[in-house]
Every structure is written in C-alpha cells, then in structure tokens.
Amino acid sequence: MHHTIEPAASGRAGCKGCGQKIAKGELRFGERLPNAYGEGEMTLWFHLRCGAYKRPESVLETLGRIGDPIDERAELVKLAEEGVQHRRLARVDGASHAPTGRAKCRYCRLPISKGDWRLSLVFYEDGRFSAAGFIHAACAQDYLGTRDVVARARHFNPKLSDEDVAALEAALAADD
C-alpha cells in the first residue's frame, strides 16, 4: 500500500487539506489507507502543498520513493520536514480574528478575546480532519514549537490581506 503522486484524472476530487477541487491534470498527492468501511483501501487526495502541510511524513516517504521530476520538490520537502520537526505544525488550519470572546486557547487555556488573532487547529484521525479549537497567535511558539506559520495560515485562509498578514505577524511576535 504505497502513497502516490500523479496527475488528477478528472477535476472532481476534492483536496482533504483545503477542501478545494484538484484541477484535471494537476499533480496531486494520494495517501492510501485501509478502507474503514469495507475491504481494500481508499485514497485521500491532496494538493501537493496541502499534503506537505497536513501529512508531512507520508509526503516525505512518497517523495523519497519516487524519482519522477516534480517542479517544486525542494519546497515540498522543506515544508514537510518542518512539519515532521514540529509535530503539531500540521494541525494549523488557518488564522482569523476571534468573532467572540468565548473560545479558549488550547495551550494556555485563557479566553481568546474578541478581535484577537487566533490560529485554527485540526486533528487528523482515521483518515479525517476534525476541528480541534484554537490557540492565541502569541502562543504559537510554545504550542507549535515555531512562529513560522504565516504561509500555512495564509494557504488555508487565502482571504487574508497583506494588512492581515502584517497584523498576524505582529501578534505572533507579541510574547517577545
């Protein structure tokens, strides 16, 4: 049961990382798992970058096994290695302002005030991603082991403006 990287055959598969469709002909990462609902196996499809962000070990294993030329191989390896080095980094699923003050940070357990920057988290279990709450942007270093999360957050929340990114970077550095 080997994972795969191949061009998308149609344009119907949705990426399990970001939820967007994978365009026909675009290279995609397929993580093969035992079928939880019957015999055989199932394949979870990801955009290559989404796979490197969300399933770093599997992507590294696959890139190491296949020799096919991939334009962004070095970048994918770098992203996946960061995810392996900081095991909680694969949980980052975007960034946003807290709409209320009711959520509590998974790291420090304090409320995330309305309007403060927070990082969304997901857990991966049994071939599915489940919402796992939030952390303060300032808690990223302690919880994730790194503050280098802006590219990931922007990848999973492409609506972040340049001003939002600058504010998020300031919030990430707030505990200095």
Tokens 């699923």 belong to residue = 93
The pLDDT value given to residue 175: 64
DSSP string, 145-175: S-S--HHHHHHH-TT--HHHHHHHHHHHTTT
**Equal CATH topology for 4-85 and 87-172:** yes
Helix, strand and coil percent figures for the chain, each rounded to 5: 35, 25, 40
Q: Is 87-172 in CATH node 3.40.50.2300?
A: no
What does the pLDDT read at residue 66?
Answer: 86
Reported as type and span, the H/E element at residue 156 is: helix 150-156
pLDDT given at position 71: 87
**CA 170, CA 16: separation in Å to the nearest integer?**
30
Residue 176 has pLDDT above 80, yes or no: no
- Of 122, 127, 126, the closest CA to residue 88 belongs to 122
pLDDT in tens, 60-79: 999 999 878 888 999 999 99
Is the CATH code 3.30.1740.10 the one for domain 4-85?
Answer: yes
Chain segment 126-162, per-residue pLDDT in tens: 889 999 999 999 999 999 999 999 999 999 999 999 9
For residue 155, the one-letter residue type is H
Q: Which residue has the higher pLDDT, 127 or 86?
A: 86
Give me the residue spans of the domains in the chain.
4-85, 87-172
pLDDT tens for 25-48 read: 999 999 999 887 888 899 999 999
pTM summary value: 0.92
